[in-house]
Structure 1
Amino acid sequence: MQQIVRTIAIAYNNLPRPHRIMLGSLSVITLAVAVWRPVVYPPADDTPVTVKEAPISTAPTPNQTVMSPQTIAPEASEPMDSESIEQPTPPVAIPADELGTTGSDDSSVHEYVVSTGDTLSSILTQYGIDMVDVTLLADKHDDLRNLKIGQQLSWAVNDDGELQSLTWQMSRRETRIYERGDNGFKERVEMQKGEWHNRVINGRLSGSFVQSAKAAGLTDSEVSAVIKALQWQLDFRKLRKDDNFSVLLSREILDGRSEQSELIGVRLNTGDKDYFAIRAADGKFYDREGSGLTRGFMRFPTMKQFRVSSNFNPRRLNPVTGRVTPHRGVDFSMPVGTPVLSVGDGEVVAASRGPDTGNFVEIRHGRQYTTRYMHLNRLLVKPGQKVKRGDRIALSGNTGRSTGPHLHYEFWINQQAVNPLTAKLPRSEGLAGQDRREYLAQVREVTPQLKFD
């Protein structure tokens, strides 16, 4: 090695002086370029940022129900290119969901209540089901083209996301089941012949709402229906001991047993305030004046629409590993420092940093909806903070596993990622005209029945 260095030095000294100067200059410039990295500053944002911080209690009040936390953290939602990627983001502690012990753990089974403008295609494709499966099902069974508001669909998929079965509850008495076979989907019809009876169930909180409701006589599905009906008005984790509730149900009795039920109305009193939710003819719940209970959502998490650099694709095939690595959100290309907005009212359940997601925020909107925002430059909210639709929650960035400045945005319904650009967003519209008059007549009939013991 020393001989090589000595030889290079002799050759360099033998060069003419101009040549030595030129060679030395080129060496210095090459070294500087190799080690230099530009410093990128986010563009100045002179618009004042107002951050509303909700106090986070460290200890429960004497009568407050305490929920045990569960760990939830956004997975790395962008395709992995090799096995050498850093480990996923450490779990972030998030308040436990009130329905954590009542729902099914099978993430391959999904439920949906038909709403205005829905078709079989629009419902299934937003959950990532291939249009080929939808066509195979609908072409053979034409009745599925006539879905009606308030009817319930549930379906199951296999590990590859292929549709395996669909259950269509057409009415209280008739349910149609479509199961995949060698020659497409085969239909099976189940008819219920029981009698429906209305019943009022009253209860008082002693422990969690789920435990108290079950002790009062509600089934798991009935508890779930109550929570979903009231989820936009109150936080069930913050109910207190001795709060009262009254539930009006219609149950189908067959051979002395309750086969199924439908929630008609519910009243819950907490903090000396009554909360009502009453079902209308369209299958949705409204307050006593006919106003919608669901909070509306914005389509985009920014003040203006930016270019989509990577689309939602639940079955994206990684060209390097050959494995299916879903891209569960949409990437918007935007400058670092762009204000990121909450698309709806909700509660911040995570505001942290991970090696793949970078700085990220997760917001829960009621019981069914969750949104996630990743690769952020700066966080403007904290876990436990309440936010409104349009509030600034962060500034966009290029942190984590990112190839350029952008925002990765995800929209989840019932713990299932859907395409944020095509998902049917809930609306907060109320009833009007004849629909409202009929509903108010029903309210006058239902409200007196919702009495506390």
Structure 2
Amino acid sequence: MQQLTRSFSLMFNYLSRLNRIMLGSLAIFTLIIAIWKNSIYFPLFGRLNTTIVSPEKRKFIDQPIDTTGHSSQFSKENEKDIEKNNSNIKIHETSNTNKYVIFSGDTISKILSQHNVPIADIKVLSREHADLQNIKVGQSLSWKMTVNGNLQYLIWNVSQREIRTYNRIYGKFQENITYIKGKWCNTTLTGYLNGTFINSAQTAGLSYSDTYAVISALQWQIDFKKLHKGDKFSVLIAREMLNGKSARTQLLAVYLHTAGKDYYAFLADNGKFYNRDAKGVTQSFMRLPTLKQFRISSTFNPKRLNPITGRITTHLGVDFAVPVGTPILAVSDGEVIISKYDDIAGNYIAIRHGHQYMTRYMHLHKLLVKPGQKVKLGERIALSGNTGRSTGPHLHYEVWLNQRPINPLTATLPRNESLTGHDRSEYLNKIKTIIPQLHS
């Protein structure tokens, strides 16, 4: 041992000063680590005792240790006290509730799988509740997981008034739908025309949908393009308030004074509007623009094969095989907006009926009306022909609703109806209380 120590000392002396400093530092660092590890693993009991203990002694050692270091037996009273004290301890756990707002391209399976919801739970949800495949952008989802990592429940906020909850019950998910009802209240809004009616109505506090409802109710009585500055209007609206906001509205009545006349429209219990005399404010439409029905040579067809071009093109109307010179009639009251010749349509006429409807008549032989002219239901407006791009004498007839073509043969067309009997009496009693609100 002495020889080993002497050899190490001679070797250490031959080292440079820098190497001796580094070697010394390493030795000190190693000593510090050894002391630190010893203090961590054996802070109380010193070295680990590997002596084999008999079962009898082990029974004694396994008993609780009190603060004095002596073993003791806990009585049942002490155990109850411990349970009581432990019950008062609040354990703060991290929240396992997730919330998600749906974006474009999202699916229920994609959302839940990305948030580590078990595939088995996702399959059960999708199989039992197919409506979950109809989630839409802007809606929201929230769900909670159990401590075992399974889906506990899922909440689908379908809308402001509809909430669907899927609770886990014995491995399945039970759906509960909650509909939230708001509080309805009536509001009267009054304004004066200054500019367009739409701008004036919005200045008075009407929303775009409210304004459109007013125009639709009065469209058969008034030409909104010919109102005058200062014309007065009043609107009675029912609003449903939900969570402090207006969820939806219902037009109940409207009054407009223009050119020295008063115009009214009141909502009846059947969902239609009538005037002060319980007469319908809607104009009637004829189904066909001719005195009798002629053979249909081409129907309304979005994918019709054009007989001239040979290409599949949309056929927006109905073709009637009528002889040249057949009288063509206006199907309802309206205003002529077009009456001219076109290279494709030939001589053709377009008539506006109220605010929502328009009819068009093409390939005519002779035009009998001019733009801006007012026409009545059943009035003769033209004679049929074979002008423009046409394979033979016929009438091409179109009906448009809200700037979209509809099938003239199957579409539900407006009808003028009046209330009678008991319905009329109830209606007249009802509007007696409404009219003063419109003039207040």
Question: Amino acid of the residue matched to residue 331 of structure 1?
Answer: D
Per the alignment, residue 330 of structure 1 pairs with 318
Counterparts in 2 of 1:66-215, with a 5 A limit? 191-215=179-203
Distance 1:330 1:223 in 2: 33
Report Cα offsets for 1:240-273 as digits up to 9, x if no partner: 0000000000011122211110000000000111
Identity over aligned pairs, percent: 59
Question: Amino acid of the residue matched to residue 415 of structure 2?
Answer: R
Q: Where has structure 1 moved over 3 Å in runs of 4 or more? A: 172-176, 187-192, 317-324
Question: Amino acid of the residue matched to residue 417 of structure 1?
Answer: P
Q: Following TM superposition, by how much is the alpha carbon of 1:206 offset from its aligned partner in structure 2, in angstroms?
A: 0.9
Report Cα offsets for 1:349-394 as digits up to 9, x if no partner: 1111111100100001111111100000111111111000011111
Distance 2:333 2:162 in 1: 37
Q: Is 1:260 the equivalent of 2:248? A: yes
Distance 1:249 1:201 in 2: 8
Equivalent residue of 2:381, what SS? Answer: strand
Distance 2:216 2:332 in 1: 17
Q: For this pair of structures, how many residues does the alignment match?
A: 273
Q: Following TM superposition, by how much is the alpha carbon of 1:189 offset from its aligned partner in structure 2, in angstroms?
A: 7.5
Report Cα offsets for 1:261-319 as digits up to 9, x if no partner: 00000000001111000000111100011101111111111112111111111232558
Question: Amino acid of the residue matched to residue 378 of structure 1?
Answer: K
- The equivalent position to 1:390 in structure 2, one of 378, 395, 404, is 378
Per the alignment, residue 221 of structure 2 pairs with 233
Per the alignment, residue 184 of structure 1 pairs with none
Per the alignment, residue 364 of structure 2 pairs with 376
- The equivalent position to 1:272 in structure 2, one of 260, 273, 276, is 260
Per the alignment, residue 298 of structure 1 pairs with 286
Per the alignment, residue 348 of structure 1 pairs with 336
Q: Following TM superposition, by how much is the alpha carbon of 1:323 offset from its aligned partner in structure 2, in angstroms?
A: 5.5
Residues 425, 320 of structure 1: alpha-carbon distance in 2 compared, 3 angstrom cutoff: closer
Per the alignment, residue 433 of structure 1 pairs with 421
- The equivalent position to 1:401 in structure 2, one of 375, 380, 389, is 389
- Over the aligned positions, Cα root-mean-square deviation in angstroms equals 2.6
- TM-score computed with the length of structure 2 as normaliser: 0.59
Q: Following TM superposition, by how much is the alpha carbon of 1:193 offset from its aligned partner in structure 2, in angstroms?
A: 2.3
Question: Amino acid of the residue matched to residue 437 of structure 2?
Answer: Q
Residues 443, 349 of structure 1: alpha-carbon distance in 2 compared, 3 angstrom cutoff: same
Per the alignment, residue 449 of structure 1 pairs with 437
Q: Following TM superposition, by how much is the alpha carbon of 1:430 offset from its aligned partner in structure 2, in angstroms?
A: 0.7
Distance 1:174 1:368 in 2: 32
Question: Amino acid of the residue matched to residue 208 of structure 2?
Answer: D
Gaps of 5+ in 1: 1-139, 142-171, 177-186
Report Cα offsets for 1:81-115 as digits up to 9, x if no partner: xxxxxxxxxxxxxxxxxxxxxxxxxxxxxxxxxxx
Distance 2:352 2:177 in 1: 37
- TM-score computed with the length of structure 1 as normaliser: 0.57
Per the alignment, residue 421 of structure 1 pairs with 409
Q: Following TM superposition, by how much is the alpha carbon of 1:416 offset from its aligned partner in structure 2, in angstroms?
A: 1.8
Question: Amino acid of the residue matched to residue 373 of structure 1?
Answer: Y
Per the alignment, residue 310 of structure 1 pairs with 298
Distance 1:288 1:318 in 2: 50
Q: Whose helix fraction is larger, Structure 1's or Structure 2's?
A: 2
Q: Following TM superposition, by how much is the alpha carbon of 1:173 offset from its aligned partner in structure 2, in angstroms?
A: 6.8
Equivalent residue of 2:313, what SS? Answer: coil
Distance 1:400 1:335 in 2: 16
Greater Cα shift, 417-426 or 207-216:
417-426
Distance 2:334 2:428 in 1: 29
Residues 195, 322 of structure 1: alpha-carbon distance in 2 compared, 3 angstrom cutoff: farther
Structure number with greater CO (CA < 8 Å, separation at least 6) is: 1
Residues 174, 411 of structure 1: alpha-carbon distance in 2 compared, 3 angstrom cutoff: farther
- The equivalent position to 2:237 in structure 1, one of 249, 259, 262, is 249
Residues 395, 321 of structure 1: alpha-carbon distance in 2 compared, 3 angstrom cutoff: closer
Question: Amino acid of the residue matched to residue 353 of structure 2?
Answer: H
Per the alignment, residue 353 of structure 2 pairs with 365
Residues 314, 443 of structure 1: alpha-carbon distance in 2 compared, 3 angstrom cutoff: same
- The equivalent position to 1:287 in structure 2, one of 275, 281, 297, is 275
Distance 2:359 2:375 in 1: 12
